[in-house]
Each structure stands twice: as structure tokens, then as C-alpha cells.
A and B are shown apart, each in its own frame.
Chain A
Amino acid sequence: MYNEEVIKEFQNLQNVGFLENNNAYSKIGNAACGDIMEMTMYINPETEIIEQVAFRTFGCAAAQATSSRATTLVKGKTAKEALELSNKAVVDSLGGLPAQKLHCSVLAEEAIKACIENYYERKNGTEKKEETKYV
């Protein structure tokens, strides 16, 4: 069902982990639905370039591959450019996903967007603290 590119990405996940020195953080999804993505970034406050990015995912092979690929696509880009990243771009870069897995790529796009929003919120002092429920 998965193409070779997806399997290759799944076997060689990029940017796995958690950045302690992050200035942008997001965690989205729903464990009950089987998908949670967490993203951390260090965005240079001067240039707004995403210098470091890391992710951790609870999810299927497609969720892992798309979150990994999304991180490589935004690394080195500016926060503004990264906001433009669409789930389609992630899927295309992996050479396509099975139809029932497309929602996983939406999650990757949302995790990137939420992470950058968190960067702006923290920068502007408007960050909301929310407790998420997982089960």
C-alpha cells in the first residue's frame, strides 16, 4: 500500500526528538484516533529562519513519514515560508499516500502551523496555556 519513498522515509526518519532550547512548540491530534504529533523548533528571532526542528509522533507509518518529511521541508525556511507548507506538498514530496492515509498529512501540516503560531504567541506574549486530553 505504501510506495517505496514512504517506506524509505519511515525507515530513516529525520529530525526525531525534542529540542530543549525550543522557542516554538506544538502538540496536536488525538490519541483516541491514533495520531499525536509533537513539534519543537528553534526559530532565529532576528532572521525568523527555522534553524532547528524536531518531532515526536504517536501514529502509523504514514503519520511518522509525513511528520519527518514535513520537518525536512521547513528546516532552513523562514517561519512565514513554513506557514505556506501544504499537506499536498508533503504528500507530493513522498510520491503520494494511500487515500485513507491522507488525513495523516493534514496532521503534519497542522503541527507545523501550530508550532509557528506558538512561536509568534510566545514572541508577542499572547500564548495560551491549555491542557490537552489524550484518552
Chain B
Amino acid sequence: MKVYLDHSATTYVDKDVLEGMLPYFTDVFGNGSSQHFYGREALKAIDEARDKVAKALNCKSTEIYFTSGGSESDNMAIKGYALAHKDKGNHIITSKIEHPAVLESCRKLEKMGFEVTYLDVDNEGFVDPKAVEAAITDKTILITIMLANNEIGTIEPIKEIAQIAKAHHIAIHTDAVQAIGNIPVDVQDLGVDMLALSGHKFYGPKGIGVLYKKNGVKIERFLDGGEQERNLRASTLNTPGIVGIGYAIEKAVKDLDKNAKHMAEVRDYFVKKVQDSLEYIMYNGPKDSSKRLPGNSDFSFVGIEGEGILFHLDLAGIAVSSGSACSSGSLDPSHVLLAIGVPMAIAHGSIRFSFGKMNTKEEVDYTVDVLVKTVNQLRSMSPIYDELIGEYKKCIMKK
């Protein structure tokens, strides 16, 4: 049996989305910037996709910028806004649990003389809007907080934070890469100035992303060259990708309620089963399902290391991702888990199981069977299981 439980990493492309894209590799291959018939035909498809994305996000088509993905959209928004407003101030507010595309963009800006506040989160990963307000100085120009966390599924109170930003005349960007297709994303309702998303997280293609930028919000050009994307991002338009993300987001919005309900049901079934089958585990992230992405679950298994779990599951045909450092070459485990107070040695034993619209309870049954065997086997050969149980108990008491 093959079970894919890593939908937060990426999803497959839906067949009908792929079919929609295919003509734009071959028959309709024109450059969307060309003035002849071939170009005009490509541009027509690009315009239609732009309309679809705009409709899905509840904004104007002129507020949609196509990029190469979520990371680029975050870079473009944060660096682009900071550089365009450096005369007004040099302070940016973000959180400790952002995606590296946000954190590293902020660090780059720090090297260029900007100051960045990295806000703490609580033990379920929530940013406190009051802490955002308290961090604002007369130099603050931008707030960037994610809409939903990729590891522990926390849905941040962006609407509230956006109101604070607005009251202080500060721009707000949100990384919504994990949110589309899982929770409603309406830029008017959220009140954000910029928002990043990525095609391959909602059954669209890889290599295509979107930056929503409210009209009137100024950012510096990200890629120099041609005049594509209203002169903010050079590069020949990726017609098949753009067409694909248009179809994918249309579908994601249309099927949102159905898919979210299904994912939450399968996820809840999984979480309960794991909690009933294993002791000394931590369920990381919000306990209240309504404040958590419907497909997300994340566990720390005390006493063992995550990569060992990952490979045992992998050998049994189950694909998950690990919050341990060992896969990345760094020695630190996930910055998100550390930020919510999981002790380092326990954070190393963490696995994210992220569900998609096609996962089934039968898959969950198989996964939990393999998982329980694996955890027990690895614990039996762990020289520090007993010590880490003590650490776990201390941590639970603190909470």
C-alpha cells in the first residue's frame, strides 16, 4: 500500500487541471508579450487565469502578479516593499514561526540596515495581536505574518492583525501558501495589502505562484528585464503554469467546504487513533480544530529521532515529513517546534502528517499500524527513552 501524507510539501496536479494546461505547451505556445496572433492567444489564456485567481481571492485582476512560486512571492513582497519605503522607516515585524522564505528575506534586509522584530508565539503557535501592536514603533513600515503555519497548522489571527496595521498606517503581507484550498482566503475580508500563494499546494503545477498586491501599494521591481507583470517582474510569462494555477484555484475554492470537511474528518480519526495507541507523545499545534488547517497534524514521539521514523514509514510505502534536523544537515530541529516550547531533544522526534482530499480512513489504519510498530521498535533501542520521558513530563506540567 502506498500512502501519501505529505500534502503540505506538495500535491499532485489534478488531471483536469493538467488537461487544461497541455495545449499551452504545444499548440498555443506563443509568448504572451508578442503582438501577433500566437502571442495574443496566449495572453488571452493568461488574462482568463488572472481573472480566475482574482475572483478566488476577491480582488481585481490588476492586483494579481504571477511569480515562480510562494518563496518568490514572499521575497518580492517583503524586500520589494521594504526597499520602496526605506525613506519612511526601517522596521519590520514578523514572527518566529514563518517560512524560511520570509525569515531569510528579513535577515537579508537586516544586513541592509533594516531592523526586524521576530515575535514569539504561544505554545500552540499563535501570534498575539497585542504583541504585534506593542512591537510597532514610528519606524515600522511592514508587518508580515503567515496566514497558516506549514508545520503545525496554526491559523493566525490575520484579520485582527491587519486591523492593527491599518490603524497605524503600516502595510501588511501574509504568506498564505498553506491556506488556499484548506480555509477561505478573501483578501478584502482579511484586510491585507499583500498575500503570497503557490500553485502546487492545491493540486496545481509547481513553478508557479501568485503575489496579490493591492493597487496603490508600492513595491520595488523584483526581477529586472522586461516589462511583464506591470513592470514589477520581468521574465516571459509561464503560460501553462499560469493557466494551471487558474484552474487549480478555481477548483480549490469551489470544493473548499467538501475537501476541508473530508480532510478534517480523516485527520481527526488519525489523531485520535495515534493518541489511543501510543503514550508519551505530543500533539503539536492548536488543539481546537477550528483554528488549525484541516489536513494538518504534527506529533513528537518522545525518546526517538524523527528521521528514523520517517525511513521506517518510507520503507512501508508511507510518505511523511520530519521536523528533525537530520534531513537538512543542520543540527537544530524545526524552528517552529522550538518556538512553541518543545524541548530540543523531543523536537528531534517529530513527524508531520499532512492529509489531502483523497486520503482515506483505510490509509490511516495502515499508517497507524506501521507507526506504532516503528515507534515501539525505535524506543526499545533508544538509550535515552526513560530520561526523555522525565523531560516530557516536566514540559507537560509547564503547559
Contact = CB atoms under 8 A, between A and B. Distances in A.
A62 B308 CA distance: 9
B383 A34 contact: no
A35 to B, nearest CB: 8
Interface stretch (A8-16, A43-51, A80-88, A113-121): A8-16
A100 B329 contact: yes
B307 A135 contact: no
B344 A63 contact: no
Interface string A112-135: 000000000000000000000011
Nearest to A35: B305
Given A56-B383, A134-B387, A135-B344, A34 B331 contact: yes
Interface string B158-184: 000000000000000000000000000
Contacts of B56: none
Contact of A134 (B315, B325, B381, B384): B384
B189 to A, nearest CB: 42
Nearest to A32: B344
A31 to B, nearest CB: 4
B311 A56 contact: no
Contacts of A60: 305-308, 324, 326-327
A34 B326 contact: yes
B284 to A, nearest CB: 17
B382 interface: yes
What size tier do the contact residues of chain A reach?
20 to 34
B265 to A, nearest CB: 33
B359 to A, nearest CB: 25
A34 B311 CA distance: 16
Contacts of A16: 381
B344 A59 contact: no
B251 interface: no
A58 B304 contact: yes
A66 interface: no
A38 interface: yes
Interface string B303-334: 11111100100010000000011111101010
Interface of A: 2, 7, 10-11, 13, 16-17, 27, 31-38, 56-64, 99-101, 134-135
Given A10-B311, A38-B383, A31 B331 contact: no
A104 to B, nearest CB: 8
Interface string B336-367: 00000001110010000000000000000000
Nearest to B311: A61
Nearest to B303: A58
Contacts of B260: none
Given A7-B315, A10-B311, A31 B384 contact: yes
Contacts of A17: 381
Given A13-B381, A57-B382, 13 more contacts: A7-B311, A27-B383, A32-B344, A34-B333, A36-B382, A57-B381, A58-B304, A59-B305, A60-B308, A61-B311, A100-B329, A134-B345, A135-B345
Interface residues of B, number: 28
B391 interface: yes
Contacts of B311: 2, 7, 10, 61
B382 A58 contact: yes
Nearest to A103: B331
A134 B388 contact: yes
A57 B307 contact: no
Given A16-B381, A59-B308, A60-B326, A34 B315 contact: no
A34 B348 contact: yes
A38 B382 CA distance: 9
Contacts of B326: 34, 59-60, 62-63, 101
Nearest to A39: B383
Contacts of A56: 381-383
B343 A135 contact: yes
25 contacts: A7-B311, A7-B315, A10-B311, A16-B381, A31-B345, A31-B384, A32-B345, A33-B331, A34-B331, A34-B333, A34-B345, A34-B348, A56-B381, A56-B382, A58-B304, A58-B305, A58-B384, A59-B326, A60-B307, A60-B324, A61-B308, A62-B326, A99-B329, A134-B384, A135-B391
Contacts of A13: 381
Nearest to B345: A31
Contacts of B331: 33-34
Contacts of B343: 135
Contacts of A36: 382-384
B383 A57 contact: yes
A31 B348 contact: yes
B381 A63 contact: no
A7 to B, nearest CB: 7
A28 B304 CA distance: 16
A64 B348 contact: no
Contacts of A101: 326
